Amino acid sequence: MAILLAGGFAGWYYLIPNSERIVPDYDRAHPILYGGQELPFGALVDDGAVKLPLGAIAEVLGSSESLYYEEATGSIVLTTVDKVVHLKTDALTASMNQEPFELAFAAEVAEDEVYIPMTPLQELYGVRALVHEESGIVTLFAPGQSIQHAETVRSSAVRSGPTIREPVLEPLAEGAEVRIWEEEAGWYKVQGNNGYIGYVPKRDVRLTTIETVAEPERAEGFVPWEHYGERINLTWEAVYSRNPDTSKIGEMPGVNVVSPTWFELVDGSGKIRSKADSQYVAWAHKRGYHVWALFSNSFDPDLTTEALGSYESRLSMIKQLLAYTQMYNLQGINLDFENVYTKDKENLVQFVRELTPLMHEQGQVVSIDVVPKSNSEMWSLFLDREALARTVDYMMLMAYDEHWGSSPVSGSVASLPWVERSIVRLLEEDHVPPQKLVLGIPLYTRVWTEQTGADGKVEVSSRAIGMETADQILAERDLTPVLDEAAGQHYVEYEEEGATKRIWLEDGKSARARVQLVRKYDLAGIASWQRGFQKPQIWEALHQELQVRP
């Protein structure tokens, strides 16, 4: 009998709802909740003004990429596809796309966290915040987020767990409104008016409306290439000490963009040296070419570290480039940063994120040159190709120098299998959209010299030559090229003064094969290095191959 009574009491106990009231114990005065979960951050709330830590904003946006804090200067830079907002801690003046505006509350640093006022966050990203006065909880909502609303059909309670034996966080009268975040074994995970997250039996609520958090207004998307159906056919104009005599430049059928190497970094403050020439621009426009002037970091890693390392020096570079594009009536900027420390990877991405919206505002195309992926710190590993591709209009893959000038072994400048692997790696590993990827192709080759020294070791050296020089060598020595199946190119070798000479030829065959890869992977086009190395008929060969349709 006693056992039966005990069993009955136990059953009765588990059927009786727990009436205990508790208040959740948060570590922060203003805990932040998002999507039904507590984030490991707290907000600052003062007289209705809400400030959020950068970490919480990154959680809501799904990435910290558009949020940048520079501790040395107190600069905070927020970016979108069309806006760059700059704030400074403890300052009420900010700027958007270089236009100043006033904040009601300043950004600040508290307990090693950077806090940003809600107003620019809502306007820029569409993030919303709801402060629950009773509990101090701050609930965040992301743009585009769907929120299921519901109301109780009878008196109920929000409990700390999905069972009636869990204590009560908030009693609910009939008709009380809640937000539903999840469903679990006959219970809804909900949030009531006081902000607490808990559980309500499904039978106690009725689903009502679904609210979608508004997206911020965006400017009409920038269109970088208006020649629909026509691929990019760019050629770089290498300008060293002086600009070319354009009267001596022959016809280049199919070319639609020229990129003169006009701008280069001079010092760590961001000063840029210009070799721009208005006569060259006028000539290019008369021929129907767009001009995307190249800006390089002078391949100086220390200057690059300094220039990319502060908001002020990055802004200085951006302002100069904006001025030059207007002064010379350019259509774009091509970035060529090489020989860069890996530690500067993030700062290079940030520079591009700050530059691109302002360039787009002036109608300028932004492209960046990258080398094929390798383990080289200074030439490859510093490039965050995936992040860069999300921002720029085009990415030029410089698919040449497979065997560089001082290579210890002879070989092709750009064998076809190596080029194709380089393309595939960017598409598959770095998720570069094919419509943004431009294949860089060489118009030059190298004459390799292999000389056996007194010690019996083979010493290798090379010199770069253009296509016409290569043809002259073939004619003078009556050489007949053979096909190197592995490289996918024509090849010749000959003996001279006791040394073996080798040339993997760049010609119509190799040029067409590279363009066929562009078509195979549906890339944006080609970029050739450099004008002047080609023989005249190569332009027509490239153009015809680019026009082939499946």
pLDDT tens-digit readout, 308-335: 999 999 999 999 999 999 999 999 999 9
Cβ partners under 8 Å of residue 65, min gap 6: 349, 353, 387, 390
Query: For residue 88, is pLDDT > 70?
Result: yes
How much is the average pLDDT of 154-162?
Answer: 96
For residue 449, with 0-12 CB atoms within 10 Å meaning exposed, 13-18 middle and 19 or more buried, which class applies? middle
Residue 386 and residue 281 in one domain: yes
Statement: residue 466 has pLDDT above 80 = yes
Q: Check whether 456 has a pLDDT greater than 60.
A: yes
Q: Averaged over 81-94, what is the pLDDT?
A: 96
Are residues 437 and 397 in contact, defined by beta-carbon separation less than 8 angstroms? yes
In the listed set 94, 122, 141, which residue is the last one of a domain according to the structure? 141
381 DSSP assignment: I
Looking at the structure, tell me whether residues 130 and 188 fall in a common domain. no
Tell whether 283 and 199 lie within a shared domain.
no
Domain that holds residue 89: 31-141
CB 61 within 8 A of CB 121: no
CA distance readout (Å), 314 to 120, 269, 364, 402, 496: 22, 8, 18, 32, 52
Could you tell me which residues come within 8 angstroms of residue 473 by beta carbon, excluding any fewer than 6 positions away?
447, 465, 479, 492, 503
Residues 402 and 284 grouped into a single domain? yes
Residues 196-224, mean pLDDT to the nearest whole number: 94
- State the catalytic residue, choosing from 59, 166, 237, 338: 338
Q: What is the pLDDT of residue 287?
A: 98
In a shared domain, residues 123 and 152: no
In a domain, 224, yes or no: no
In a domain, 419, yes or no: yes
> What local confidence, expressed as pLDDT, does residue 220 receive?
83
Which residues are CB-neighbours of 226 under 8 A, at least 6 positions away? none
Question: Per-residue confidence at 229, pLDDT binned at 50, 70, 90?
Answer: confident
Average pLDDT value for the chain: 95
Judged on CB neighbours under 10 Å (0-12, 13-18, 19+), 279 is exposed
Does residue 5 have a pLDDT over 90? no
> Does 175 share its domain with 313?
no
Are 339 and 415 in a shared domain?
yes
Q: Specify the CATH number for the domain of residue 152.
A: 2.30.30.40
Domain boundary among 89, 110, 141: 141
Q: Residue 510 corresponds to which tokens in the numbers above?
A: 């190799």
Q: Is residue 482 part of a domain?
A: no
Report if residue 497 sits inside a domain: no
Q: Is 378 part of a structural domain of the chain?
A: yes
Q: What is the pLDDT of residue 210?
A: 98
Q: 151: helix, coil or strand?
A: strand
Confidence of residue 47 (pLDDT cuts 50, 70, 90): confident
CATH of the domain at 290: 3.20.20.80
- Per the annotation, the verdict on 338 as an active-site residue is yes
In 333-415, where does DSSP find H-type helix? 345-361, 385-391
- Mean of pLDDT values over 283-297: 99
Q: Span 73-98, mean pLDDT?
A: 96
Residue 14: the pLDDT is 56
- 204-217 mean pLDDT: 95
Assess whether 168 and 94 both reside in one domain. Answer: no
- Looking at the structure, tell me whether residues 125 and 260 fall in a common domain: no
Same domain? For 106 and 152 the reply is: no
For 101-121, the pLDDT digits (tens) are 999 999 999 999 999 999 999
pLDDT (0 to 100) of residue 8: 46
Rounded Cα distance between 444 and 441, Å, is 9
Mean pLDDT within 416-423? 99
Q: Rg (Cα) of the chain, in Å, rounded?
A: 32
Would you say 201 and 141 are in contact if contact means Cβ atoms under 8 Å apart? no
Domain boundary among 141, 156, 176: 141
Per residue in 120-152, pLDDT (tens digit) is 999 999 999 999 999 999 999 999 999 999 999
Instruction: Specify if 112 maps to a domain.
Output: yes
CATH of the domain at 100: 3.30.457.10
For residue 233, what pLDDT is reported? 98
Average pLDDT over residues 57-61: 95
On whether residue 25 sits in a domain, the answer given is: no
Domain assignment present for residue 476? The answer is no
Instruction: State whether 120 and 268 are in the same domain.
Output: no
For range 168-179, the mean pLDDT:
96
The total domain count for the chain is 3
Asked if residue 370 and residue 245 are part of one domain, the reply reads yes
Query: Helices (H), strands (E): how many in the chain?
Result: 12, 35
